[in-house]
Amino acid sequence: MKTYVTVTMLIWWFYCLFFLSFPFVRLFVLAEEPYKSAIGDPGMRRDGLRVAIEAWNQCNEVGEEAPNMGSPRMADCFDVINSSPIKLVHKVNEEDNRLGVSNALFKRSSIMNVDQYAPWKEIYLGKKCQVEDQPRPWQFWMIMLKSGNMDTQAAVCPENGKKTQPFSPQPRFPCFGQGCMNMPLIYHNYTTPQGEEGNNSLRGSFYGTWDLDADVTKAATENDSSYYSVTWEKEVGTGSWLFHHVLKTSSKYPWLMLYLRSDATSGLSSGYHYETRGMSKIVPKSPNFKVRFTLDIKHGGGPKSQFYLMDIGSCWKNNGQPCDGDVTTDVTRYSEMIINPNIDSWCNPNNLGSCPPYHTLPSGVRIHRTDKDNYPYGAYHIYCSPGNAESPEEPYNFCDSYSNPQPQEILQILPHPAWGQYGYPTKKGEGWLGDKRTWELDVGRLSQSLYFYQDPGTEPVERHWPSIDLGTEIYMSGNQVAEWTVSDFDIIVPRDDN
């Protein structure tokens, strides 16, 4: 009782102190902001946009370039000259964007296969788009496309980083036959000033389809053609870019993904064993960072659309060492909050293998998954242990062993009061259709509290997040449409981070 009173009084004392000194605190904050942006384009307000697009197959490679498209890495990067009328100086031309192994425009193609060429091209485009900045330069936002189709008989995707043998088709891997893992057609409307002279709005887009025989001008509306588009728009000198996304599945391509990523500007980002380029000039670190953005979902993408309000990706080995590109021991780590209210919890007291071994409260207290009275089962969609974990706690669940070049650990969470302290949705439906919101998510503290596997007795890693993104994964359902906009995106870190 005595301790209780003392603590209450202390809290009251700090409370008074805080409010009395508020004007001074504000002055101090103005003089020296305690936070800064980790990304090259804080809040998406820079007129001279830098944006790129990439396409991946089931295991995050190319496999085969789409006819006449070149390698699936393209960019739209320009500076704005404030003349009247406004002029744009583009940094990446059509020839750069169409570089690929199959059109042999570039000599290096002779010594690289298509999987190696794509990351090489990303770095090449990155050089053209790079903006000098402190503490280091940055390159572009990355739009990511992925198809989940997998040809099990072609055995192109490794299993947990190890080469596989062909196996017979299974319903969990869609494939309509040979060539089902193709790259999409990618078309590009370079950013241009719009409308009348004196109107300062800019617009550009990437769009296309995975159905190689479809007419792209009809694919958006035609039944059973896959389609995607990302259109960016902004008034020069004011406000944020607005990124408008559309993703549509077809019966041949029922499992498609479209994300907008802020990736690290160098090093390995997650899901990939090559150097990447991106927007995060400072790689945010748990527990001190926040992610802010405005999200307006207009169409959800159907009952199996796993819309990720926030998807964070990293990579470390089970022994706690950083990833180095060795796909047999590197482990990509993902956590996502799925906000589609149709998605249920697969973690429950009768299916403990799909729950992380423990849940950590904001206070640091751990609740074991066998504690039926206290464990928040409904806060978790699914947990998957790394496919190469040596001693995962029983019972465990491995999943998705083919969808990355290396083994992966996946922790998908759902809106639940357990996440309220971090600014995340606490109820199903929050932020969903018709509920446009500006989120400020304490991703840093949340990601610090989440369970991630390491081998017993190893030092817990410092958690860095080289990929922060949002968008949807429409899972195994044809003729579904998702449509949403993103603006004001920013990642905020302490002033002294670098």
Ligand X SMILES: *[C@@H]1O[C@H](CO)[C@@H](O)[C@H](O)[C@H]1NC(C)=O
Which residues are near ligand X by CB under 6 A? 189, 194-195, 199, 201, 205, 207, 223-224, 229, 231, 251, 479
Minimum CB–partner distance for residue 273 and ligand X (Å): 32
Minimum CB–partner distance for residue 207 and ligand X (Å): 4
Minimum CB–partner distance for residue 127 and ligand X (Å): 27
Distance CA 478, CA 467 (A): 28
Minimum CB–partner distance for residue 245 and ligand X (Å): 11
CB 431 within 8 A of CB 455: no
Which of 239/320 has CB closer to ligand X?
239
Which of 221/458 has CB closer to ligand X?
221
Which of 3/238 has CB closer to ligand X?
238
Distance CA 308, CA 337 (A): 5
Which of 412/487 has CB closer to ligand X?
487
Which of 240/408 has CB closer to ligand X?
240
Tokens of 445: 């503290």
Distance CA 191, CA 258 (A): 20
* Identity of residue 320: G
Residue closest to ligand X when measured from CB atoms: 195
Q: Is 232 exposed, middle or buried (CB count within 10 Å of its CB: 0-12, 13-18, 19+)?
A: buried
Minimum CB–partner distance for residue 170 and ligand X (Å): 21
Which of 84/223 has CB closer to ligand X?
223
CB 443 within 8 A of CB 291: yes
Minimum CB–partner distance for residue 283 and ligand X (Å): 32
Which of 214/389 has CB closer to ligand X?
214
Minimum CB–partner distance for residue 251 and ligand X (Å): 4
Distance CA 312, CA 287 (A): 13
Which of 253/375 has CB closer to ligand X?
253
Instruction: Tell me how crowded residue 306 is: count the other CB atoms within 10 A of its CB.
Output: 20
Minimum CB–partner distance for residue 102 and ligand X (Å): 24
Of 461, 497, 46, the C-alpha closest to 289 is 497
